[in-house]
Structure 1
Amino acid sequence: MNPTFEPTQPQRRKGRLQLLLILAVVIAPMLLAGAMYRFGFWVPETRSFDGVLVANGQGRDALGIAVPSEAEARWELLVTAPQGCTEACQELVYLARQINIGLAREAGRAGHALASGTTLAPVYEQQLQREYPQLKRYALEPSVYAENPDAPAGAQLWIVDPHGNLVLRYDEKIKGKAILDDLKYLLKISQIG
């Protein structure tokens, strides 16, 4: 016969205390994180991106852009020009291409596109066909674009994820290095596209 071990009362208390400590170590961080999210305390004020974050799940359709269903799923630098492609828009189109080239070996994971609310000037249209052969072109519905509170008037550059969701927005005053850094970071942490 084997003798059975009967723990004493102090040993039981010690074992229960250890169990409660283990549970507290596992559950307390989850409760703290949930409370931080819910009530917004201890949330850092700094950010690691330079654009305006569009974190409400909007897609290109919220801007009035219809994209063909057979479009390739990859990251996109989208230039929107609801009133036509002025000089600021043309600079953003050029910047989008340069950023795409600046991605080096990751350039295949991203593309660049232009969505204009009006037809382009014939001279600029020819220039795009000649100098920007990989630029995708979309039609933009200005009335839908104007109703979106996250879409200010004037030319804007957007980073769009492979699912078609708007991620970051930049105006025409932004420097290309800032956009390149943001896109490189997104590509680094992304498992899609």
Structure 2
Amino acid sequence: MSEVKPAGGSGAKIQIIIMLAMVIGATVLGTVMLPKNEQERAELMALLGTTNMGTLITPTVNWVPLLPPGEDISDDINGHYRVVLVADGSCDSGCAEMIATTRAVEVRLGRDARRVDRVLLQTGLAAAELDQLAVDNPDLVIAPLDGAALAALLAPTSAALTGANRFYLINPVGDAVLYYDQSHTGSDLLEDLKHLLKYSPSR
């Protein structure tokens, strides 16, 4: 009487092959989907269902030429984000409210506030007004604004200037990735910053 060999061996091999294929596939997919820059990261977040509270700027544009000395850093060696406010000709009540809002967010960030710089680009503000802003906001960097250059920079993006008060979130390589207007709250900025700082290692 001939001996019947168990058939389980081939089934086990097939299971092992399937498991290896799944592991290799997941590794390759993870490598392919790894974002290479801030815009790709934002697009991947949107694809995966994670939404920003601020309005996404597409395409991203680099603000380094507009930033003052000390803030015009085009690499992420310090891992700093920048919240850039704009006062073109005047700083009305909406502008003042945004300055106060970003200051409050900075306080709520606690020790992570050291990784976020606030910058006010302005033109046309009176000396007395600038002095008062400096007193009320000792950590606010105030620098001249080139309004024409800003308008040209944002014109081809989803953040083209409309005359409305806004502030912008600039990533560590100098790209403007999100903007906020008066429909946003300080909590919106805070949530975005906390998320970005969590996934951006401090240098």
* Alignment partner, residue 142 of structure 1: 147
* Alignment partner, residue 115 of structure 1: 121
Contact 2:105-2:186 within 8 A present in 1 as well: yes
After superposition, give the CA deviation of every residue in 1:136-173 in whole Å (9 maximum; x if it has no partner): 02222212222213243332111222332223210123
Q: Secondary structure at the match of 1:114?
A: strand
Q: Distance in 2 between matches of 1:69 and 1:182?
A: 24
Contact 2:169-2:177 within 8 A present in 1 as well: yes
Identity of aligned residues (%): 26
- Given the superposition, is the C-alpha separation of residues 177 and 66 from structure 1 closer, same or farther in structure 2, using an over 3 Å criterion? closer
Contact 2:63-2:176 within 8 A present in 1 as well: yes
Instruction: Give the superposed CA RMSD.
Output: 3.4
Q: Secondary structure at the match of 1:94?
A: helix
Q: Structure 1 residue 174 and structure 2 residue 184: aligned?
A: yes
* Alignment partner, residue 161 of structure 2: 152
Contact 2:89-2:124 within 8 A present in 1 as well: no
How far has the Cα of 1:19 moved from its partner? 6.0
Q: Structure 1 residue 84 and structure 2 residue 84: aligned?
A: no
Deviates more, 1:49-58 or 1:99-108: 49-58
* Alignment partner, residue 4 of structure 1: none
2:23 to 18, 23, 26: 26
Contact 2:88-2:124 within 8 A present in 1 as well: no
* Alignment partner, residue 54 of structure 1: 57
> Gaps spanning 5+ residues in structure 2: where?
1-6, 36-43
Aligned length: 177
How far has the Cα of 1:79 moved from its partner? 0.7
* Greater gyration radius: 1
Task: Using structure 1 for the length normalisation, give the TM-score.
Answer: 0.72
Q: Distance in 1 between matches of 2:139 and 2:70?
A: 18
Q: Distance in 2 between matches of 1:151 and 1:138?
A: 21
* Alignment partner, residue 7 of structure 1: none
Q: Secondary structure at the match of 2:168?
A: strand
* Alignment partner, residue 4 of structure 2: none
Contact 1:59-1:164 within 8 A present in 2 as well: yes
